Structure 1
Amino acid sequence: MAAIEYSLFRRAVFLTGILLLAGCTSSQTTSAIKSEGVKTSAPIGNIPKKQLYNYTASDRECLKRAMYFESKRSSRDGLMAVGTVVMNRMTSGAYPGTICGVVGQERQFAPGVMTRPLKEQAAVELDEAADAILRGERNPQVKEAMFFHRAGLRFPYDNMHYVTVAGGNAFYEKRGDDGELQTPAPKPADEYILSFAPHLSTSPALMAVNDVQQASVVAEADDLPLPLQAPVPLQRPQLASLSSSQMVMAPQVWSLPATRR
C-alpha cells in the first residue's frame, strides 16, 4: 500500500513539474517577441525634416520668363531643363534663395529676361511646364547642372562636365579632375518643399515692368507720346528677412549679358 501511495506521489510531482516548465517556457517566448517588436520600431525623432522654400506669383512669373527666353521655346524638354537649372541654383546655397533672385541675378541669364514680353501663343505649354517644376518635376538628364550655354559652342575649360542637350542649350556641371562637384550640390526635389506664399511681397522688378506696360497702354489710349522708350534700371536691392529664415533677393538688373560662367 505504501508503495502505491509513493508511486502516485511521484507521478503528481512529475506532472506538476511539467506544468511549471510549460508555463515558464511560454512566458519567455512572449517576452522575447515583445522585445523584438520594440527594437524594430523606428523612433519618431529620426524622421528627416525637409527644408521649406516659399514662392509667390512673381516667382512663378520669373520662372516662366527664364524657361521661355532661355529654351528658345523649342520643346517641353527644353523648358523643363532650364527650370531645373533655376531650382538647382536656388537650393544649392551658392545663389539667391528665391526664384526671382536667381533669374534676376546679374550676368547669368539672357538679356531682357525680366523685361521682354511673353507671347500669348506659348502660354498654355509654358504654364504647364512651370507648374510642373513647382510641383517637383525635373528634367532628369540635367542632374546637378547649374550652367548651360548655346549648343554648338566650345570652351577651353576642363571643368565643364556636360550632361545633356535640350532646347538648343548644352547643360553642364563644374567638376574637377577627381570628378567631384566644384559647386555646392543642389538639393534633390524630394528633399525640400515648395510652398505658395501669396502674402509675401511682389518682386520689385516685375512691379516696375507692369508699371511701364500700364503707362504705355494709357499713353496709346490717349494718343500721347510714350513717356518711356526703355525700362528704367532698378536700384540695387536690399535683403529682407522672412519668417521662414530665408533671405529674399530681388532681381538686380534689367539687361543681363549672356555670360554663363
Structure 2
Amino acid sequence: MCVIMALSPVVVNPALADSKGQVAQSAKAARSAAAATQISQRDLQCLAEALYFEARGEGAQGQRAVAEVILNRVDHPRFPKTVCGVVNQRGQFTYNKNARIREKGTFARVQKVAIAALSGAPRTLTDGATYFHTRQVKPSWSRRFERTTRIGSHIFYRSGVRRVASN
C-alpha cells in the first residue's frame, strides 16, 4: 500500500529480500536513482505496485506502456493529479490493492520501470493513451475512444477523440 509521502530515498520492504539480498541490491540502485531525481516514495510505491499487478507478465516495453498510461492520466484534467490518486481511483484498475507481492525479482524489475517513468523517461509508446485493457476482454468503453496501439497482451486507447464508424 502507499504509506510514505516524503521526498526521500526509496525504501523497499525488507520482507521482499531473499537470503542473498538480491532485492536489497536493487533497492540500493533504486535509492540512488530516486535520490538523484527526487522521486516521491509514495508515487514510486503506488506505480510499482500497479505495474506489478497490472503488467508483471509483460515484457519491459509492455510495463513501460502501462506506466505511460498512468502518468498520462496524472497529466490529464479528467483524472486525479497524483500517481497514487490515479492508481487508487475507484473502478479504474482491476487488481486487489491488498494483494501480496509474491514474486520478488519481478517486483524489483517493475520498480526499475517505475523509477525510469517517474524520472521523466519519454512517453512514446502509447501515443498519449489514457486507457488500456487486455486482449482477452472487449469492454464497452473501448468503442468510445481511439485505439492507439497494441503492446503485448494490452490494447491502448486515448480519450478526447471519438471513433468514427467506417463502412
Q: Structure 1 length normalisation: TM-score?
A: 0.43
Q: Where do 1:1-261 residues align within 5 Å?
A: 56-112=40-96, 114-118=97-101, 119-155=103-139, 158-174=143-159, 175-177=161-163
Q: Structure 2 length normalisation: TM-score?
A: 0.66
Amino acid across the alignment from 2:157: Y
Amino acid across the alignment from 1:94: R
Query: Any stretches of 5+ residues in structure 1 without a counterpart?
Result: 1-53, 179-261
Query: Any stretches of 5+ residues in structure 2 without a counterpart?
Result: 1-37
Aligned residues: 124
**Cα distance in 1, alignment partners of residues 83 and 139 from structure 2:** 28
Amino acid across the alignment from 1:115: N
What's the offset of the Cα at 1:127? 1.9
Aligned to 1:230: none
Query: What SS does the aligned partner of 2:125 have?
Result: helix
**Cα distance in 1, alignment partners of residues 42 and 82 from structure 2:** 10
**Cα distance in 1, alignment partners of residues 136 and 65 from structure 2:** 17
Amino acid across the alignment from 2:98: T
% identity of equivalent residues: 27
**Cα distance in 1, alignment partners of residues 71 and 127 from structure 2:** 11
Query: What SS does the aligned partner of 1:153 have?
Result: coil
**Cα distance in 2, alignment partners of residues 138 and 106 from structure 1:** 28
Larger Rg: 1
Whether the aligned pair in 2 keeps the contact of 1:164 and 1:172 (CA below 8 Å) is: yes
RMSD between aligned residues: 2.1
Query: What SS does the aligned partner of 1:172 have?
Result: strand
